Homo-oligomer: A and B are copies of this chain.
Amino acid sequence: MIKGNCLVGQSGGPTAVINASLEGIILEALRSEEIDHVYGAFNGLDGILQEKFVEFTNDDLEDLDLLITTPSAILGSVRYKLPEEDEDITVYEKIRDVFIKKHISYFFYIGGNDSMDTCHKIAQYLLRIEFPCQVIGIPKTIDNDMVETDHTPGYPSAAKFIATTISEIYQDIACYETGRVTFVEIMGRDAGWLTCSSYIPSTLGMAPDLIYVPEVPFKVDLFLEDVSRIYQKNKRVMIAVAEGIKDEAGVYFLQKRLYNNNDDFGHLQLGGVGMVLAEIVNKELKLPVRSIELNINQRCASHLLSYVDIKEAINVSIYGVRMALKGITDKAVIIKRISDEPYEIYYDLVSLDKVANLVKKIPLSWLNERKNGINDEYLKYIMPLIKGEVKVPYKNGLPQYYLLKNRQK
């Protein structure tokens, strides 16, 4: 048997479990007899094009458990939009040359919707030139907006972080007899999955009064009516709002902000919508306001993980390696749910072109009648996903992380 080598890369925005996905690939690849060397590419495609690799061996196994609770993507990530073959074939040829030189027979790319597109293009190119390498996409995104899969690794932990934080903020702002209108701004450009998770603490009696998702056109008049009514009754209002809410014309509500940065995919970098709404409330209703932006902590808070999420992230990767070894290529691993209670799932594959670049919205049946809140249907979906805690290794009062010794090279 001729052994091939395995290459794995991380791409797109980190999640709290993207390193658990990496651990799953490394563990399964190391114990596979068909795989010889296990390489990681630094900064995803960038690292491949520049041949910046690290090798994982059995010597790394001892430390590897630290990966699970290490935040961010330890191989480094990238936001690189792969051109079409007819736009620039040289990039593809470079990838091919590196794969030949490094004897790469299995390529795993951990990423979100955009990365699945990258993965698909590479897989298609390699198929066309009949290069023997299996390409499998390993989904991760806190946004949970990937089609075909029940959920994506990374979302449950982000949801658990948001739920915990919302319950803490709820307690905090409830401690004064008269409070403010508090906005909690949650990530989510086009879909409300993360914002929905602000509703989880309703099981503790601690949900926000109002929840606004990008799927519903945001109407300022109705919003001010709701805020005013609730404030009069409770002397405080708590509002969870997605960064990506849009007006009725489908234009991002927040078109103007202090500073704009566009990423390489042309997405507008949002943020600050809570402050804009706070300003409107303060101006129109003369109420005291506050805006809290949960920001990138939603994706990097590795000190607060869902056990189910970690377990699934590892298993998705293990399943991906096994399928690649069977000769399968150009597929993404997906999670299919059999039942909510007891929570049962299985892993499956789907063609990469079925998930690349698409965005899955939340079911509109999860919205309340006035479309300013979520209902208990969502809880059936989410509660099994946030179960279980993960023990973080601490030393001298600080969490301990996996350090890639030669990362800086």
Cβ–Cβ contact A43 & B177, under 8 A: yes
Residue in B10, B172, B293, B397 whose beta carbon sits within 8 Å of that of A386 in the complex: B397
Cβ–Cβ contact B261 & A172, under 8 A: no
Residues on B with beta carbons closer than 8 Å to the beta carbon of A304:
303-304
Cβ–Cβ contact A72 & B398, under 8 A: no
Residues on B with beta carbons closer than 8 Å to the beta carbon of A259:
278-279, 282, 289
A196-244 with Cβ < 8 A to chain B: 200-201, 203-204
Identify the stretch in A94-102, A187-195, A329-337, A388-396 within 8 Å (CB) of chain B at 4 or more residues. A388-396
Cβ–Cβ contact A172 & B278, under 8 A: no
A373-399 with Cβ < 8 A to chain B: 383, 386-389, 394, 396-399
Cβ–Cβ contact B398 & A204, under 8 A: yes
Residue in B201, B258, B272, B301 whose beta carbon sits within 8 Å of that of A398 in the complex: B201
Cβ–Cβ contact A167 & B261, under 8 A: no
Instruction: Decide yes or no: A292 and B300 within 8 Å by CB, A180-B261, A278-B259, A386-B398 being known contacts.
Output: no
State how many copies of this chain the complex holds.
2
Cβ–Cβ contact A177 & B288, under 8 A: no
A302 to B117, CA, bound (A): 40
What is the chain B residue whose CB lies nearest that of A161? B303
Residues on B with beta carbons closer than 8 Å to the beta carbon of A22:
none
A173 to B172, CA, bound (A): 29
Instruction: Decide yes or no: A175 and B77 within 8 Å by CB, A278-B259, A279-B259 being known contacts.
Output: yes
Cβ–Cβ contact A397 & B388, under 8 A: yes
Residues on B with beta carbons closer than 8 Å to the beta carbon of A173:
296
Instruction: Decide yes or no: A171 and B300 within 8 Å by CB, A177-B46, A261-B289 being known contacts.
Output: yes
A180 to B261, CA, bound (A): 10
Residues on B with beta carbons closer than 8 Å to the beta carbon of A74:
171
Tell whether A275 is near chain B: CB-to-CB under 8 Å: yes
Cβ–Cβ contact A175 & B76, under 8 A: yes
Cβ–Cβ contact B278 & A399, under 8 A: no
Residues on B with beta carbons closer than 8 Å to the beta carbon of A200:
398
Cβ–Cβ contact A297 & B387, under 8 A: no
Residue in B176, B282, B296, B394 whose beta carbon sits within 8 Å of that of A169 in the complex: B296
Interface residues of A (CB under 8 A from B): 10, 14, 43, 46, 70-74, 76-79, 160, 163-165, 167-169, 171-177, 180, 200-201, 203-204, 258-259, 261, 271-272, 275, 278-279, 282, 288-290, 292-293, 295-297, 299-304, 306, 383, 386-389, 394, 396-399, 401
**17 A-B contacts (beta carbon < 8 Å):** A43-B177, A70-B171, A71-B168, A71-B171, A72-B168, A78-B177, A160-B397, A168-B301, A168-B302, A169-B296, A169-B297, A200-B398, A204-B398, A258-B275, A271-B290, A292-B295, A304-B304
Ranked 4 nearest A-B pairs via Cβ: A386-B397, A72-B171, A172-B300, A71-B168
